[in-house]
Amino acid sequence: MEIKMPLINACNVRKVYGDGQGESTTALDDFNLVVMEKEFVSIIGPSGCGKSTFLLLVAGLEPVTSGDLLLDGQSVNGPDPGHAIVFQEYLLFPWRTVWKNIEFGPEVRGVSKKRRAEIVSRYIKLVGLEGVEGRYPHELSGGMKQRVAIARALANEPKVILMDEPFGSLDALTRENMQVELLRIWQENRCTVIFVTHSIEEAVFLSDRLVVMDAHPGRVKKIFPIPFARPRKREIISSAGFVALAAGVKGLILEEEGYQQNKSIQGKEGE
């Protein structure tokens, strides 16, 4: 087994949203997390616990208020093609075809046209979009749009890919299908993934480690290592070990939470 190096190192990270004049919300406080190279880490927690905020910080779309956030030993300083993000709303460019959407990253980075064509066709194949290259986003189903978004992020060959509830708006069957697909893609294309989700089952199924967060302020509550061997099959979700682990995670999230938050977690999980 190869030796893994830490890729992301969050140390005492604090993020406060506010106008600087009294009105402020602490999204993250004393947040510590180390993510290893090529690791698949999921983050789960009640709404408003700052899990999406953490992704925005790593993506460089929001600055940290205090503390250290290192990517590959360097402070995150603004958006960078090395850390790609995939959003729940896909955010494809509607005026670009599937092909041109995936090409966007290499294109703005000045990759030659010939090389671009190789990259795009490789990722189109990887995410299974052959035959729809010329279509526009509005002609695609939700699952296909998310495949395009994933391929578009991968086309920059990022060190880390940040996924903010990427399957949150898909129907249950497509969602299961996309989880299996994501694992296959990740297996073939090992990069680091930080995956934010509301679904315990999804998180346990996908991850090497599962980070459970506390809200108000957002910080890491507990980290579960997920021991199941890879490549994983969908069937493992009904195995005794999986069920017990998921129940443990659920119990942890539910304890110490107010009634309101219990309700919201259970509601979300039913998706």
Partner 1 sequence: MKRGNVISPVALFGIWELVGKLELVDPLFLPAPTAILAEAWSLARSGELFVHIGVSLYRVGMGYGMGALVGVSLGILMGWSKRLEEYLDPLIEMIRPISPLALLPLMILWFGMGDGSKVIIIFKASLFPVLLNTIAGVKGVDVKLIQAAQTLGANPGQVFRKVVLPASLPTIVTGLRISTALAMLAIVGVEMLAAESGLGYLLVEAEHVFDTPKMFVGLLVLGGLGYLWDRLARVAQNRILVWHKETTLEGKV
At closest approach, how far in Å is the CB of 219 from partner 1?
Answer: 25
Residue 225 and residue 58 in contact, taking contact as beta carbons nearer than 8 Å: no
Residue 259, SS3? helix
At closest approach, how far in Å is the CB of 75 from partner 1?
Answer: 17
CA triplet 215, 218, 224: central angle to 5 degrees? Answer: 85
The binding track of 220-239 with respect to partner 1, each residue x by CB under 8 A or -, is --------------------
At closest approach, how far in Å is the CB of 106 from partner 1?
Answer: 9
Tokens 């205090």 correspond to what residue? Answer: 66
At closest approach, how far in Å is the CB of 84 from partner 1?
Answer: 6
Stretch that binds partner 1, among 15-23, 34-42, 133-141, 235-243 (CB under 8 A): 133-141
Which residues in 139-198 contact partner 1 (CB under 8 A)? 139, 152-153, 156
Which residues in 71-110 contact partner 1 (CB under 8 A)? 78-81, 83-85, 87, 89, 91, 93-96, 104-105, 108-109
In the complex with partner 1, which residue's Cβ is closer, 56 or 236? 56
At closest approach, how far in Å is the CB of 136 from partner 1?
Answer: 5
Sign of CA dihedral 35, 163, 134, 144: positive
In the complex with partner 1, which residue's Cβ is closer, 59 or 126? 59
In the complex with partner 1, which residue's Cβ is closer, 105 or 168? 105
Query: Minimal CA–CA distance to 31: which of 209, 205, 223?
Result: 223
What are the two backbone dihedrals, phi and then psi, of residue 133, each rounded to the nearest 5 degrees?
A: -55, -35
Residue 253, SS3? helix
In the complex with partner 1, which residue's Cβ is closer, 58 or 200? 58
CA triplet 168, 169, 175: central angle to 5 degrees? Answer: 70
Which residues in 43-72 contact partner 1 (CB under 8 A)? 59-61
Helix 172-188 × helix 142-154 angle, to 10°: 20
In the complex with partner 1, which residue's Cβ is closer, 11 or 108? 108
Burial class from Cβ neighbours inside 10 Å (0-12, 13-18, 19+) for residue 69 reads: buried
Total binding residues toward partner 1, as defined by CB under 8 A: 28
What are the two backbone dihedrals, phi and then psi, of residue 16, each rounded to the nearest 5 degrees?
A: -120, 125
5: Cβ contacts below 8 Å, ≥ 6 apart: 36, 37
In the complex with partner 1, which residue's Cβ is closer, 139 or 171? 139
Give Cα separations from 38 to 119, 161, 186 (angstroms): 21, 10, 9
Q: Around Cβ 255, how many Cβ atoms within 10 Å?
A: 9
At closest approach, how far in Å is the CB of 187 from partner 1?
Answer: 24
At closest approach, how far in Å is the CB of 1 from partner 1?
Answer: 31
Asked if residue 115 binds partner 1 (CB under 8 A), the reply is no
In the complex with partner 1, which residue's Cβ is closer, 102 or 249? 102
Residues making contact with partner 1 (CB under 8 A): 59-61, 78-81, 83-85, 87, 89, 91, 93-96, 104-105, 108-109, 136-139, 152-153, 156
